[in-house]
Chain A
Amino acid sequence: MTATQSLLAVLLTPLLSAALIAFFFRRMGKVASAISVLAAACIFVFSLFAIREARNETVAFSWNWLHFGDYSVSIGFLFDGVAATMLTMVGLVGFLIHVFSLGYMANDQGRARFFGGLSIFMFSMLGIVLADNLIMIFIFWELVGFSSYMLIGHYLDTDEAAAASKKAFIVNRVGDLGFLIGIVYAYWHFGTTNLSEMHGIVAANSQWVSGSIAALLMCGFIGKSAQFPLHVWLPDAMAGPTPVSALIHAATMVAAGVYFLIRIDFLFPVEVLQLIAWLGTSVAVYAGFCAYGQNDIKKILAYSTLSQLGYMSAAFGLGYPGIALFHLITHAFFKALLFLAAGSVIHGCHHEQDIFKMGGLLKKMPITAITFLIGTLALCGVYGFAGFYSKDAILIAAGLGNTPVFVLLTLGAFLTAGYMGRLFWVAFLGQPKSDSASHAHESPLNILVPLIVLAVLSLGGGWIGFWPEQLGAIIKDNLDHLHHMEGYAGMHKTVLVAGSTAWIVGLVLSLLFYGAGAKEDRLEQKAAPIYGFLKARLWFDEIYGYYVAKIQQRLAIFLSFIDIFVIKGIFVRGSAGLVGLVGICSRSLHDGNIHSYVYWFLAGLLALWAAASGIL
């Protein structure tokens, strides 16, 4: 198989699987899940083929899809080092999560629908990874939006899931509007939307870089990667099944926004990069604070995801797309692990999600607890774990480039360790605090194996020296660049000390403050206003709710009034009524009496005469 054929196989396998499930196996959960898992395995194998066949070279393939006059829309692949790295991660994590879902969703009524959704998601996600032009990215971008909508709303008989899926979809549309305008603008500006061609134009003359195009395309990223101010959908999206939260809302889809930025990083001028860096930093700190106000294990992880996405965009904004990609990959490993372990906990505790009702799970579910601990340590950036290397690189880049960002990101690292410590100490240590937790049991093997594999990856995934040479070239370049910058050695020591202090202090303080296996949130008891403030999450949902109900709704009523009275009443009905009136009048002249026709004939003759002689 050539590289192109392998890539086609990668893209079409999940589509085929989704089509098979949708058309033939909608009622057969077992068959559907087998097909979907098999497809996920095939994706991973085919992507390895593709990477081997590409032999470290960029594979570009383009096929004309539609012609409009002298404009054509093409579909194609741009398979370079970045895409190869992302493809491997998506294939691997996707496969593991598929296997996990086998166990987690074993007793679900809508299993076939769920696995069909996973397959269509894999198809759309891989489309984004491989796409070679903005329009194709946009098409698959919307497809991941759709599959995310479908999977968040999997438990469709609960109002929460229905509202959350709608919210995710609508909030994403807000960002996508900017994205779409950006694509049109880019086509008008460059005459093409092909990534390599645009890169060529910009590389030849940097005058072509346009801040507005970059800012507009950034809107798509803000929506998909849940950055300020469109971050509100991600915590709500946790209403979906846990494997979905792991796959879509932690490891792959939300990271697709960052991946998209990395693909088009040549389009970004310094000002927009600064903006992205500050957006990312603010969301990293903000989400860190919000996590303290949550008791739902998945919501805490969701805010953690927001915060880590903030780190990625900060790294990108500081001018290191490779380091952003590095953190994206390691984050995918440990955040998928954390979500899956949380899923295993939820599965074991009979769908209990409140951490203050768990407790003592370390004894009941040792493997889950240990893998969760590994994920926690990786997320906190403990030396040697995957998260350490990428987070360290981001902090060094910030320390060398932008001191305020560095300080805030270090604060974010401290907050991360704090809320993760709170989660781990409360949920896994001490005594069980509810019936469901005391009857907790270790999960079956098909849940544990993905956990163990991901735990190994969270441990060793950051050892970039051991990565295959085809992967992560851009990461190594960026790291090398960082290593040769002035002041690297000193900053490296500072970051090592600051980062380690942050996680040690965070974990210890949270243990001392909350206590192992606490029954109640001590912050809520001791300092209710602060807790309330954190829980309110800066009232974003309320502000948006107010905006929608009071401002947008009124505007909509006003527009509807204009629609009904002016457009419908005056223009449409009015013109029809006028014509009808003329018709009624002229019909009354038509009485069938020859004499009246003669009169009209005479009147017409007179009028003609008058007109001809100039009287009229």
Chain B
Amino acid sequence: MTVGLNAFILVAALLFAIGLFGVILRKNTLVIYMSLELMLNAVNLALVAFSRYNGTMDGNLFVFFIITVAAAEVALGLAIIVALFRLRQTVMVDQLTSLSR
């Protein structure tokens, strides 16, 4: 059985939407962070599907880039969140509003 391209796009869109709403609605920085990763992987999924569908390697190439950059970003981002927690004892965004001052 062959799964069609539309199914992949649908799953990718759903994943992206879940990630987006997670970023918008959730208050915990860690969860927002996971949602961001979800959005990136939704894009990865779409790219792999396109690559497969077209029979070229362009999409796959992008996916490798995104995975690499996302890995580096996760390392840095988690470190920032840990440092933030040590400083403020919280990772809730509604309590982290010192940018406005």
Interface residues, chain A, with chain B CB atoms under 8 Å away: 590-595, 598-599
Contacts and interface: CB of A to CB of B under 8 A. Distances in A.
B36 to A, nearest CB: 11
B93 A594 contact: yes
A604 to B, nearest CB: 15
A584 to B, nearest CB: 14
Interface in B66-98: 93-94, 96-98
A554 B34 CA distance: 75
A593 B29 CA distance: 12
A583 to B, nearest CB: 15
Contact of A593 (B23, B32, B93, B101): B93
Nearest 8 Cβ contacts at the A-B interface: A592-B100, A592-B97, A592-B99, A594-B93, A591-B100, A593-B97, A598-B24, A590-B100
A592 B99 CA distance: 4
Contacts of A592: 96-101
Nearest to A594: B93
A519 to B, nearest CB: 91
15 contacts: A590-B100, A591-B97, A591-B100, A592-B96, A592-B97, A592-B98, A592-B99, A592-B100, A592-B101, A593-B93, A593-B97, A594-B32, A594-B96, A595-B24, A599-B24
Contacts of B96: 592, 594
Nearest to B27: A595
A595 to B, nearest CB: 6
Interface string B32-58: 100000000000000000000000000
B97 to A, nearest CB: 3
Contacts of A594: 32, 93, 96
Contacts of A593: 93-94, 97, 100
B49 to A, nearest CB: 23
Interface of B: 23-24, 32, 93-94, 96-101
Nearest to A591: B100
Nearest to A597: B99
A598 B100 CA distance: 15
A428 B94 CA distance: 104
Contacts of A590: 99-100
A358 B51 CA distance: 123
A599 B93 CA distance: 14
A591 B96 CA distance: 11
Interface centre among A590, A595, A599 (most CB of B within 10 A): A595
Contacts of B97: 591-593
B83 to A, nearest CB: 16
B1 to A, nearest CB: 36
Nearest to B101: A592
Nearest to B20: A602
Contacts of A591: 97, 100
B23 A598 contact: yes
B101 to A, nearest CB: 7
Contacts of B93: 593-595
B85 to A, nearest CB: 16
Contacts of B99: 590, 592
Contacts of B23: 598
A513 B32 CA distance: 115
B33 to A, nearest CB: 11
A590 B98 CA distance: 11
A281 B53 CA distance: 109
B28 to A, nearest CB: 11
Contacts of A595: 24, 93
Contacts of B24: 595, 598-599
Contacts of B101: 592
Nearest to B25: A595
Contacts of A598: 23-24
A458 to B, nearest CB: 89
Contacts of B100: 590-593
Contacts of B98: 592
Nearest to A592: B100
Given A593-B94, A594-B96, A599-B24, 14 more contacts: A590-B100, A591-B97, A591-B100, A592-B96, A592-B98, A592-B100, A592-B101, A593-B93, A593-B97, A593-B100, A595-B24, A595-B93, A598-B23, A598-B24
Nearest to B93: A594
Interface centre among B23, B24, B32, B100 (most CB of A within 10 A): B100
A559 B42 CA distance: 69
A598 B22 CA distance: 12
B60 to A, nearest CB: 26
Contacts of B32: 594
Contacts of A599: 24
Nearest to B29: A594
A598 B35 CA distance: 13
A594 B94 CA distance: 8
A592 B100 CA distance: 4
B67 to A, nearest CB: 24
Nearest to A588: B100
